[in-house]
Structure 1
Amino acid sequence: MYKPLISVVITVYNEEDNIQPLLAATYSALSEIDYEVILIEDGSSDRTVAEVKKYANSRTKLIIFNRNFGQTTALAAGIDMATGEYIATMDGDLQNDPTDIPVMLQKAIDEEWDVVAGRRANRKDGFVLRKIPSKIANWVIRNTTKVYLKDYGCTLRVYKSEIAQGMGLYGELHRFIPVLAKQQGAKMTEMDVKHHPRIHGESKYGLSRTFKVMSDLILMLFFQKYFQRPIHLFGGIGIISFLIGSLINIYLLIIKLMGNDIWGRPIMVLGFILVLGGIQFITTGIIAEIIVRTYFESQNKKTYTVKSVYQGVLDPLPEVQ
């Protein structure tokens, strides 16, 4: 099957005024490369679809959703459809610059990177509502996940296709794509890219996403440390809780045997709660272990990834007589 060198995946949602300049800039930037462009129309209510059909060339595919599913799902659909050896992702609002893609692609090829992530060197967004929350989020994600990128919010990235197609994008995890890639053992770097102010349309993001980011961060930390061994998390908490609760109850039993009244003491309630909570955590860990095994075995998934296999080409040594 024919495979272009790179598939460029672009998500668009209510971007009718941006489509013509977006496609023109993308085609111009990729003119010296064997490419395909995949546009994912995420349930727009304006004329985005009509504009794409009007200006798309023969190397462009348009995926039309029947409603708005969100950026993560749109990226996942585009990546699934991509056939290139490398996959680039970018937003459709003209803030990312497609002229950066050939440079990032060449860096990935020459230096053998699995992921080249964009870093907005001179970001053209509002300072209070966009830059400050972004800097805080980047610092938190970087220091909790130990994936040391400076800009998690930049959609412009280039991946080897096997890395991009193995990430498993769900919910709103597009902000944590570098973390998902790192879990596959991806070799990753970051480089400065251009960033432009939004000219047409409105931003789809605001401060309301802060709580979503923090919730997804908790999920990512769980995936990083305990996805294949959830009993180590739930079992550890459960054992500690059960032991503390048991010690409290033993203490209360001793003072009861000494003739003291223990009824109605808050510590007695705490002891029972800790014992029952400990049992529940341990049980949850066991159930989670069963689910993990079902997840891997039912789909013939492996708990490891192989980067490459080398077959020797030298003739075997002669047998010793």
Structure 2
Amino acid sequence: MNISVVIPLLNEQESLSELHDWIAKVMQSNRFSYEIIFIDDGSTDDSWSIIKQLSHKDTNVKGIRFLKNFGKSQALHAGFAKAEGDVVITMDADLQDNPEEIPELYNMIITENYDLVSGWKKKRYDSVIAKNLPSKLFNWAARRTSGVKLNDFNCGLKAYNKNVVKHIDVNGEMHRYIPVLAKNAGFINIGEKVVQHQARKYGETKFGMDRFINGFLDLITIWFLSRFGKRPMHLFGALGVLMLAIGFAFAIYLGIDKLFLNPSGRLITQRPQFYIALTTMILGSQFFVAGFLGEIILRSKRDKNRYLVKQELNF
């Protein structure tokens, strides 16, 4: 199979039929063998009913329905697990991503040997204050922190070599950082393509300003995990050594001063240096314990289901 199109969605009943027809037209005109995987992330409208209708009409349509809303990352994880195409395309269900971009994205993966190609919505039709400016700040921070030189990390329209989606673990809200996850997994041939962005045709956006706050917090998380996720003792142990060294230095100073330099002076417990020494040694010990616990958890963790599937279609 040439292409798997993975589409996570939440309450997009108005756009699904139009999106399906558009994708099918592009695929058939380019003679691609394909599948369209809709992942219903707990919709409360008629989205699932429409997906069922589409699957009866077109056997290339497959559906996954979550028991409740688990989030876009979990939806992508489920779609990636089921995808069978040599190239996997992700796109949003709101018709803001243009399916006409798919053939060129496919060719960049197949003929130019990219591991991942991310869309860049250079000209956007979103609110400048609500989305554009926060997005620019977010992308700048992501570039500086991750070293991945993309202009638009959060564009839903992306193309992947099949090996990428089968070897990265998209969880939490890490869908924003899939290029970073891919780089950390060893897939370094990451490209970018300017794509056409369209104004939302139906309904309202599901994202608010809180996603940018969460995005920056997730950026800190992924930076930490990429640097110390497999060796937490390297961070906490280093901080522990630093704190203990400061504490012991103050303790030695207080001891020498009391025994040899000023034996008739104040009690050690009456001096502020005593409390600095005590506090830093306690903190150093706690950092060491945190590092040991992190190593133990890392070695004993087990995979757990992060979502519950209610129904599947055509798998």
TM superposition score normalised by structure 2: 0.89
Residues 54 and 61, structure 2, Cα contact 8 Å, conserved in 1: no
Q: Is 1:28 the equivalent of 2:29? A: no
Deviation at residue 252 of structure 1 after TM alignment? 2.4
Give the Cα–Cα distance (whole angstroms) in 2 for the partners of residues 265 and 97 of structure 1: 69
Post-superposition CA distance 1:160-183 (Å, at most 9, x none): 112112111111100010000001
Aligned pair count reads: 294
Give the Cα–Cα distance (whole angstroms) in 2 for the partners of residues 23 and 62 of structure 1: 12
Equivalent residue, structure 2, for 1:317: none
Equivalent residue, structure 1, for 2:119: 118
Equivalent residue, structure 2, for 1:272: 278
Give the Cα–Cα distance (whole angstroms) in 2 for the partners of residues 161 and 7 of structure 1: 9
Deviation at residue 266 of structure 1 after TM alignment? 3.9
Equivalent residue, structure 2, for 1:306: none
SS at match of 1:159: strand
Identify if the C-alpha distance between structure 1 residues 264 and 91 changes in structure 2 by more than 3 Å, giving closer, same or farther: farther
Equivalent residue, structure 1, for 2:105: 104
1:63-142 mapped onto 2 (5 Å cutoff): 63-142=64-143
1:209-288 mapped onto 2 (5 Å cutoff): 209-257=211-259, 258=262, 259-261=264-266, 262-288=268-294
Higher RCO, 1 or 2 (CA under 8 Å, sep at least 6)? 2
Structure 1 outlier segments of 4+, above 6 Å? none
Deviation at residue 264 of structure 1 after TM alignment? 4.3
Give the Cα–Cα distance (whole angstroms) in 1 for the partners of residues 270 and 3 of structure 2: 70
1:138-153 mapped onto 2 (5 Å cutoff): 138-153=139-154
Q: Is 1:200 the equivalent of 2:207? A: no
Q: Which amino acid aligns with 1:269?
A: Y
Give the Cα–Cα distance (whole angstroms) in 2 for the partners of residues 16 and 270 of structure 1: 62
Deviation at residue 218 of structure 1 after TM alignment? 1.5
Q: Which amino acid aligns with 1:194?
A: Q
Deviation at residue 50 of structure 1 after TM alignment? 1.5
SS at match of 1:30: helix
Give the Cα–Cα distance (whole angstroms) in 2 for the partners of residues 267 and 53 of structure 1: 71
Equivalent residue, structure 1, for 2:307: none
Equivalent residue, structure 2, for 1:46: 45
SS at match of 2:111: helix
Give the Cα–Cα distance (whole angstroms) in 1 for the partners of residues 211 and 276 of structure 2: 36
Give the Cα–Cα distance (whole angstroms) in 2 for the partners of residues 124 and 67 of structure 1: 30
Give the Cα–Cα distance (whole angstroms) in 2 for the partners of residues 265 and 206 of structure 1: 52
Give the Cα–Cα distance (whole angstroms) in 2 for the partners of residues 37 and 254 of structure 1: 75
Give the Cα–Cα distance (whole angstroms) in 2 for the partners of residues 91 and 260 of structure 1: 73
Q: Which has the higher helix share?
A: 2
Deviation at residue 279 of structure 1 after TM alignment? 1.4
Deviation at residue 253 of structure 1 after TM alignment? 2.5
Residues 87 and 109, structure 2, Cα contact 8 Å, conserved in 1: no
Give the Cα–Cα distance (whole angstroms) in 2 for the partners of residues 264 and 48 of structure 1: 70
SS at match of 1:111: coil
Q: Which amino acid aligns with 1:35?
A: Y
TM superposition score normalised by structure 1: 0.87
Q: Quick check: 48-57 or 20-29, which moved more?
A: 48-57
5+ residue gaps, structure 1: 300-321
Give the Cα–Cα distance (whole angstroms) in 2 for the partners of residues 199 and 253 of structure 1: 74
Equivalent residue, structure 2, for 1:16: 13
Q: Quick check: 15-24 or 129-138, which moved more?
A: 15-24
Deviation at residue 291 of structure 1 after TM alignment? 3.2
Q: Is 1:292 the equivalent of 2:298? A: yes
Q: Quick check: 211-220 or 11-20, which moved more?
A: 211-220
Give the Cα–Cα distance (whole angstroms) in 2 for the partners of residues 206 and 117 of structure 1: 22
Deviation at residue 283 of structure 1 after TM alignment? 2.4
Deviation at residue 239 of structure 1 after TM alignment? 0.6
